[in-house]
């Protein structure tokens, strides 16, 4: 037994210590080991395609480099040199030979495509001797010097840390001396002077470029490793949720040259259009150029279709290879190529980045082309790509000024003139003016302005703040928590780092990225075609979780149905009280003293609620509707005490300058009203209202509120059922922590149900359940389940109460927590599996231990998050509920959770 163990250990050690693979031996299906670029080069080489020879330094070597205090692990450098010897034998050149020099490129290549995030060095191996050998070898002195000046600038920038702009200024100065003003117009004498200037810049800032090609290679490999932990790469990984632990591979490849005259060139092309998904070669190329020229925009590249006219044989060969690669990988490919004196070389193939529209189209068309099956198509489209399809997006080509960046609270792109008052927003919108409402934070008082605005921007608040939740529910673009914005309501302006934006100026809001732009930035409108609906149909075949929507109005319900919602998982009755007329009646009820006065105010609210419920039941056409009884603390419906105090001060000032008795009387009446209102506001003020008199506590102490809401619900249900339409009703009691709370509220609901059904002479089928949003409720779920037909986990509040975090205030420090890796994700965006998730799991298990068929779902903002949906599928919940505009995303994520049960996100599935 010990012998077997020792052999296994030795075998594992040998594999671990193999740091380098030649292209003709590397396992092309192992992107995790070789990186995406390296794996593709190995596969193309082994398939017999024209690929310059090379080697891959593995991602394991990168991780070992960082574990070894940024020093090469034992054996790595020796393996690199051994690999170079074998490459020299293949090409008949020698690395560092002054007469017949071999030059190489050094490129990064992580398992995930991270375009532009890490570093590349070309023409490595050149020095004062080998540049002469290259000139003799090729018979082209100008080409050799051009390659040398490119190497010097890239090596200086990437390896030695000199600013690229300094080299760019030198190049521009000498280009200006030529007749054409292009880099191709530079003469050998110009190039010699450029090289000398570049070397001097590097020497002044750092030290001389090593003359030894092996030393150049060693430090270049180290530079690529170090670029994995560069700021660009870290930021990219954070945004795309790519683990830091993966590391990058390094590809060392024989140089082929696209800058050897008119018969040479370089380009990048996709096998399909990455913007639209159309099946066509899509890309650009340049003749007499090297790879960075296309990317850097030194010259304007030509569309790939023009290559067919200039070099038809090369074009046909490339088109054939591109098609072969797509057939092999069963996916759209992003290919880099170089043409050296009429001969085509493939330098890269990788899965191509694409827009949301292109992702859907390519997935569906590849099914029709029999390249992939339905399951693969569903996994090919990320939830983020699908989300792009549902909202306008900022044109990615824009170079507009970014004023501030906040949280991407509600996706999409919108623009309008800045306003700071909800009343002005409503008035201007009524006149046909597009506006963006900018507030420190929003409240129910602002609702009408939010409805009127094209977008909402707040300087405070998180992803589940009032602005964020309401905006997402309406499908309205929103950026919250943009802390750089300092609002001066008095001056009607906001400032960001010295830039002043006044009322009426145009801004553009990108709710998908959290950016706020100055001015009107072009946006791209979404279109949902047949491909979208076909993909959704395939996704529905695989998912187990049902998908409902959070909807508070008939319009919300209609939108939810259009996006495929299978019911309403959360109808927040408090949102029905927004708007001037309803809010005033609601305030009358809150400020009433005594049950009798409250009941009179509630009588005015009852027909309004009943009307809304009728509309919702009609729209849902027999699908389940879960209605949550009044939940928020009452202060949310009242004016802010500080604002009332400020208004009183303004009224007193106005009184001093009033010129008529009538005006004075009017102001005095308003002062009396405001004082009375302020007294009432202070009377019900709570130190911590979110943990105070709200939810079921309000219903238990003010049973007339529950009675009115339930009467409105059952009367609406009777009305719609009387129209011979089915109603599936669920009533949810919020903020329960004690089983007796639910018991007493359920008894009151049943009492009202019997009364209304008796009055209408009909029977309504309904269920009573509760929202589990407090840790105690999850722990005591078995006792609570005795009185419940269903549970719905309110993960917004459950996250707050589990962490002891305010979702509105935590945006001040949570980004720092994530940056410092104290937390992996914002727990208000991605469900905390280890803490909050365990309470959800425990609550579901304990509830079902009493009632095995207990229906359980979630209705927090996590219901639209793909990683959270995967967790809900894993623990066996019945449904998730999210905003209407997230329903398609949830449907797709629920299907992917079944197809990839061990994968937390679609990104991980693409390794």
Q: Report the relative pairing of strands 402-405 and 407-410 from DSSP bridges.
A: unpaired
Decide if 727 contacts 786 (C-beta within 8 A).
no
Of residues 62, 710, 859, 872, which has the active-site annotation? 859
Per-residue H/E/C for 481-544: CCCCCEEECCCCEEEECCEEEECCCEEEEECCCCEEEECCCCEECCCCCHHHHHHHHHHHHHCC
Backbone angle region of 35, left / alpha / beta, with phi > 0 → left and psi within -120 to 50 → alpha: left
Q: What is the DSSP string of 654-704?
A: HHHH--SHHHHHHHHHHHHHHHHHHHHHHHH--SSGGGSS-THHHHHHSHH
Which residues share a beta bridge with 405?
515
**Residue 633, helix vs strand vs coil:** coil
Expressed in angstroms, the distance from the first to the final Cα of the chain is: 36
Task: Give the count of alpha carbons within 13 A of 864, CB side only.
Answer: 29
DSSP code for 782: H
Task: Give the count of alpha carbons within 13 A of 90, CB side only.
Answer: 16
- Rounded to whole angstroms, the Cα distance separating 86 from 54 reads 9
Task: Give the count of alpha carbons within 13 A of 249, CB side only.
Answer: 32
- Rounded to whole angstroms, the Cα distance separating 792 from 215 reads 63
Task: Give the count of alpha carbons within 13 A of 235, CB side only.
Answer: 7
- CA separation, residue 354 to residues 270, 274, 362, 382, 746 (Å): 10, 4, 9, 11, 51
Q: At what angle do helices 141-158 and 213-227 cross, to 10 degrees?
A: 50
Q: Is 164 a catalytic residue?
A: no
- Rounded to whole angstroms, the Cα distance separating 18 from 305 reads 43
- Rounded to whole angstroms, the Cα distance separating 541 from 374 reads 9
Of residues 190, 374, 466, 575, which has the active-site annotation? 466
Q: Is 168 exposed, middle or buried (0-12, 13-18, 19+ CB in 10 A)?
A: middle
- Of 423, 464, 457, give the one whose Cα is nearest residue 441: 457
Within 10 A of 448 (CB to CB), how many other CB atoms are there?
Answer: 18
Q: Which helix (H) or strand (E) holds 791?
A: strand 790-793
DSSP code for 878: S
Return all residues near 473 (Cβ < 8 A) that are at least 6 apart. Answer: 550, 551, 552, 556, 575, 883, 884
Q: Is 859 a catalytic residue?
A: yes
Decide if 473 contacts 569 (C-beta within 8 A).
no
Q: What does the CA dihedral 703, 706, 708, 710 come to, rounded to 10 degrees? A: -140
Q: Is 306 exposed, middle or buried (0-12, 13-18, 19+ CB in 10 A)?
A: middle
DSSP code for 112: S
Taken in order 450, 455, 457, 458, is the CA torsion positive or negative? positive
Decide if 140 contacts 261 (C-beta within 8 A).
yes
Q: What is the CA radius of gyration of the chain?
A: 33
Decide if 435 contacts 528 (C-beta within 8 A).
no
- Of 614, 551, 555, 553, give the one whose Cα is nearest residue 582: 553
**Residues labelled catalytic:** 466, 859
């Amino acid at each position: 037994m010990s012998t077997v163990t020792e052999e296994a250990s030795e075998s594992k050690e040998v594999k671990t210590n193999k740091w380098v693979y030649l292209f003709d031996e590397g396992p092309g299906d192992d992107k995790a080991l070789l990186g995406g670029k390296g794996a593709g080069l190995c596969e193309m080489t082994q398939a017999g395609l024209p690929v310059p020879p090379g080697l891959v330094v593995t991602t394991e070597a990168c991780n070992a480099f960082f574990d070894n205090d940024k020093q090469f692990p034992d054996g790595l450098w020796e393996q690199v040199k051994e690999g170079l010897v074998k490459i020299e034998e293949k090409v008949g050149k020698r690395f560092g030979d002054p007469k017949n020099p071999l030059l190489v490129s050094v490129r990064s290549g992580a398992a995930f495509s991270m375009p532009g995030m890490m570093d590349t060095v070309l023409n490595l191996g050149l020095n004062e001797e080998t540049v002469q050998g290259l000139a003799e070898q090729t018979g082209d002195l100008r080409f050799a010097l051009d390659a040398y000046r490119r190497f010097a600038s890239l090596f200086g920038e990437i390896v030695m840390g000199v600013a690229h702009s300094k080299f760019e200024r030198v190049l521009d100065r000498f280009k200006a001396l030529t007749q054409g003003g292009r880099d191709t117009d530079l003469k050998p004498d110009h190039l010699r002077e450029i090289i000398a200037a570049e070397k001097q810049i590097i020497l002044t800032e750092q030290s001389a470029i090593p003359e030894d090609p092996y030393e150049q290679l060693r430090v270049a490999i180290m530079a690529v490793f170090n670029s994995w932990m560069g700021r660009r790469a870290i930021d990219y990984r954070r945004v795309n949720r790519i683990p830091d632990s993966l590391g990058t591979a390094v590809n060392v490849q024989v140089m082929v040259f696209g800058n050897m005259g008119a018969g040479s060139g370089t380009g990048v092309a996709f096998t399909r259009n990455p913007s639209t998904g159309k099946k066509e070669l899509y890309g650009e190329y340049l003749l007499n150029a090297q790879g960075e020229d296309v990317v850097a925009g030194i010259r304007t590249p030509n569309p790939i279709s023009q290559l067919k006219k200039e070099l038809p044989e090369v074009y046909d060969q490339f088109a054939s290879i591109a098609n072969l690669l797509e057939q092999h990988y069963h996916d759209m490919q992003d290919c880099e190529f170089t043409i050296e004196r009429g001969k085509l070389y493939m330098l890269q193939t990788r899965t191509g980045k694409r827009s949301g529209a292109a992702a859907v189209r390519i997935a569906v068309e590849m099914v029709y082309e029999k390249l992939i099956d339905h399951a693969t198509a569903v996994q090919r489209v990320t939830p983020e790509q699908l989300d792009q399809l549902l909202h306008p997006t900022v044109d990615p080509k824009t170079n507009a000024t970014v004023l501030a960046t906040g949280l991407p609270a509600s996706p999409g792109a919108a623009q309008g003139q800045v306003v700071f008052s909800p009343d002005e927003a409503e008035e201007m919108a009524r006149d046909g003016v597009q506006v963006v409402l900018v507030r420190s934070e929003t409240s129910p008082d602002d609702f009408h302005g939010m409805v009127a605005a094209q977008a909402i921007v707040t300087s405070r608040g998180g992803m589940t703040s009032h602005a964020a939740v309401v905006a997402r529910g309406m499908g309205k673009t929103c950026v919250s928590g943009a802390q750089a914005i300092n609002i001066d309501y008095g001056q009607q302006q906001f400032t960001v780092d010295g830039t002043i934006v006044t009322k009426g100026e145009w801004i553009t809001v990108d709710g998908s990225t959290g950016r706020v732009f100055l001015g009107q930035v072009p946006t791209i409108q979404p279109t949902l075609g047949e491909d979208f609906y076909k993909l959704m149909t395939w996704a529905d075949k695989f998912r187990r979780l049902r998908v409902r929507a959070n909807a508070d109005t008939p319009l919300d319900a209609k939108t939810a149905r259009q996006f495929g919602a299978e019911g309403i998982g959360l109808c927040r009755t408090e949102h029905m009280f927004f708007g001037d007329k309803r809010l005033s009646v609601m305030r009358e009820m809150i400020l009433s003293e005594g049950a009798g006065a409250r009941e009179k105010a509630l009588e005015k609210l009852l027909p309004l609620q009943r009307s809304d419920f009728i509309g919702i039941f009609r729209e849902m056409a027999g699908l389940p509707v879960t209605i949550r009884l009044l939940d928020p603390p009452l202060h949310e419906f009242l004016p802010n005490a500080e604002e009332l105090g400020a208004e009183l001060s303004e009224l007193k000032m106005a009184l001093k300058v009033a010129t008529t008795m009538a005006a004075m009387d009017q102001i005095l009446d308003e002062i009396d009203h405001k004082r009375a209102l302020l007294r009432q506001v202070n009377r019900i003020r709570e130190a911590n209202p979110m943990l105070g008199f709200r939810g079921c506590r309000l219903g238990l102490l003010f049973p007339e509120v529950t009675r009115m809401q339930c009467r409105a619900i059952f009367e609406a249900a009777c009305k719609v059922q009387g129209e011979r339409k089915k109603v599936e009703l669920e009533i949810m009691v919020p903020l329960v922590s004690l089983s007796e709370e639910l018991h007493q509220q359920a008894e009151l609901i049943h009492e009202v149900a019997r009364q209304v059904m008796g009055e209408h002479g009909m029977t309504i089928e309904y269920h009573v359940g509760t929202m589990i949003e407090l840790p105690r409720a999850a722990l005591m779920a078995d006792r609570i389940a005795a009185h419940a037909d269903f549970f719905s986990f309110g993960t917004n509040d459950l996250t707050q109460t589990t962490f002891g975090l305010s979702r509105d205030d935590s945006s001040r420090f949570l980004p720092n927590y994530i940056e410092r890796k104290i937390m992996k994700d914002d727990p208000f965006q991605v469900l905390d599996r280890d803490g909050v998730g365990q309470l959800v799991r425990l609550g579901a298990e304990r509830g079902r231990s009493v009632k095995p068929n207990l229906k359980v779902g979630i209705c927090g903002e996590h219901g639209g998050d793909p990683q959270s949906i995967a967790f809900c599928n894993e623990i066996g919940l019945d449904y998730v509920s999210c905003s209407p505009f997230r329903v398609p995303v949830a449907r797709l994520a629920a299907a992917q959770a079944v197809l990839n049960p061990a994968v937390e996100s679609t990104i991980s599935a693409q390794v």
